[in-house]
Amino acid sequence: MNKLVLVTGGTGYIGSHTVVELMNEGFDIVIIDNLSNSEKSVLDGISEITGRRPYFEQFDLCDKERVHNFFKIYRKVSAVIHFAAYKAVGESVEKPLMYYQNNLISLLNLLQAMEDFKVHQLVFSSSGTVYGEPDELPVTENSPVKKATSPYGNTKQISEEIISDTIKSGYELNAISLRYFNPIGAHHSALIGELPRGVPNNLVPFITQTAYGIRDQLKVFGDDYNTPDGFAIRDYINVVDLAKAHVISIKRLLEKKNKTNFEVFNLGTGKGSSVMEVIDSFQKVTGVKLNYKIVGRRAGDTEAIYANTDLSEKELGWKAGIGLNETLQSAWEWEKQYQNNS
Ligand code: UFG
């Protein structure tokens, strides 16, 4: 019989790609999502790709009673992947209480219900942002977790601490925290992808929307960084590669291959690319000329960060496989498909 995995935030960007990869591997899926930053039509894309429809429950994880009742009904859940959270760095600076409230209360409710109903396996969606501005590159899982530069980043740090403290208390929980670098791209079918609400904050959706003509001009934030070409460097990781790491993590937990009760892994490519390298690649692979302008630095931005992925390679047997060009092409195919059909 297929194992049932609960994916919170499963209609979101990384969540939906992960649901597809889990279903392709024979897992049954139940999604909890309040649709605050996603659309129900994502379920159609998932069904079209996999030939199956995940169970879907629409409610807010901050509602403790609903979370409890969910586990009462779905007795067969054997593992949880927790994606559901607010994720915009800038917005979190403006609305810190909303971020702490949502991201932390939802995790607490989930952990409590998991304990009550004896669900012991958790994969947590964390972020490379926990390293702040690193002293050394690439960052390893042992690099210091520095003071967070935003309430959003702080919620990821605190969430990891909550999970770790819970485990230390003796509560029977096995958790894997996956620290993502910069997820980009879309499923090769172009049936699911990133769906930013309003003006995108992130580089790649802004690029694809500019290329499509929805935005007039891309602003490139800063050309005076202490990097080879002066532009900020990030580790851009393909979202399908990222999704596959979640499947491996779930299997690792269910097959009891984890080495400790709380493992942490970086998920990146191990290679940094500058903003201008991303723009150049996009123009080269798509043949679309981008209208961009170099402006001042964006407040709060890190100069350069990319991951050391030795641990995830060794322990998870996982390595990013899809390159930047192909990933940017997939983001473009998704943008065109989505805009043409909406
Ligand atoms: N950038 C531009 N123009 C834009 C948007 C971004 O030049 O319109 C630049 C940024 O200044 C930065 C790079 O592109 O140098 C990447 O920026 P993103 O906004 O795409 O991503 P961030 O690295 O700022 O943040 C991402 C996620 C966060 C996560 C963080 C972890 O959005 O959720 O990575 O490092 F916390």
Q: Across all residues in the chain, what is the average pLDDT?
A: 96
Q: Which two tokens mark 318?
A: 């996982």
pLDDT at 174 over 80: yes
| Measured distance CA(253)–CA(333) in Å, rounded | 35
Mean pLDDT of 24-50: 97
In testing the pocket of ligand 1, which one of 221, 273, 306, 324 has its CB within 8 Å of the most ligand atoms? Answer: 221
Q: What are phi and psi of 309, to 5 degrees?
A: -115, 15
Is 99 noted as a catalytic residue in this protein?
no
Q: Which two tokens mark 104?
A: 């932390």
**Tens-digit pLDDT profile for residues 115-141:** 999 999 999 999 999 998 899 999 999
Q: Which residues of 83-101 are buried (b: 16+ CB within 10 A; e: fewer)?
A: bbbbbbbebbeebeeebbe
Mean pLDDT of 200-222: 97
Query: Are 174 and 257 spatial neighbours (Cβ–Cβ below 8 Å)?
Result: no
Of 321, 320, 323, the residue nearest 281 (C-alpha): 323
**Tens-digit pLDDT profile for residues 146-172:** 888 899 999 999 999 999 999 999 989
Query: Are 320 and 238 spatial neighbours (Cβ–Cβ below 8 Å)?
Result: yes
Question: Which atom of ligand 1 lies closest to the CA of 207?
Answer: 8
Q: What sign for the dihedral angle of Cα 196, 200, 202, 204?
A: positive
206 Cβ closer than 6 Å to some ligand 1 atom: yes
Q: What is the pTM of this model?
A: 0.97
Amino acid at 211: A
220 Cβ closer than 6 Å to some ligand 1 atom: yes
219 Cβ closer than 6 Å to some ligand 1 atom: yes
Q: What are phi and psi of 336, to 5 degrees?
A: -65, -45
- Select which of 152, 180, 225, 338 is catalytic: 152
Residue with tokens 């054997």, as numbered in its chain? 78
Question: Which atom of ligand 1 lies closest to the CA of 182?
Answer: 34
**Tens-digit pLDDT profile for residues 215-252:** 999 999 999 999 999 999 999 999 999 999 999 999 99
Query: Are 8 and 33 spatial neighbours (Cβ–Cβ below 8 Å)?
Result: yes
Of 159, 186, 5, 192, the residue nearest 81 (C-alpha): 5
What's the CA-to-centroid distance between 105 and ligand 1, angstroms? Answer: 26
Mean pLDDT of 185-205: 95
Alpha helices per DSSP H over the chain:
13-24, 42-50, 64-73, 89-94, 96-116, 151-168, 203-212, 239-254, 275-286, 310-311, 324-340
Q: Are strands 233-234 and 273-274 parallel, antiparallel or unpaired?
A: antiparallel
Alpha helices per DSSP H over 117-194:
151-168
The DSSP symbol for 228 reads T
Length, in residues, of the chain: 342
pLDDT at 102 over 90: yes
| Measured distance CA(193)–CA(339) in Å, rounded | 12
- Compute the half-sphere exposure of residue 179: CA atoms within 13 Å on the CB side of its CA: 29
Place 342 in a pLDDT band, splitting at 50, 70 and 90: confident
The DSSP symbol for 304 reads B
| Measured distance CA(86)–CA(107) in Å, rounded | 12
pLDDT at 1 over 80: no
298 Cβ closer than 6 Å to some ligand 1 atom: yes
3-state class (DSSP) for residue 317: coil
Residues with Cβ within 8 Å of 308's Cβ and at least 6 positions away in sequence, in order, are 138, 139, 140, 266, 270
The DSSP symbol for 222 reads -
Query: Are 81 and 7 spatial neighbours (Cβ–Cβ below 8 Å)?
Result: yes
179 Cβ closer than 6 Å to some ligand 1 atom: no
Residues with Cβ within 8 Å of 127's Cβ and at least 6 positions away in sequence, in order, are 153, 156, 179, 180
Place 254 in a pLDDT band, splitting at 50, 70 and 90: very high
Query: In angstroms, how far is CA 86 from the centroid of its own chain?
Result: 11
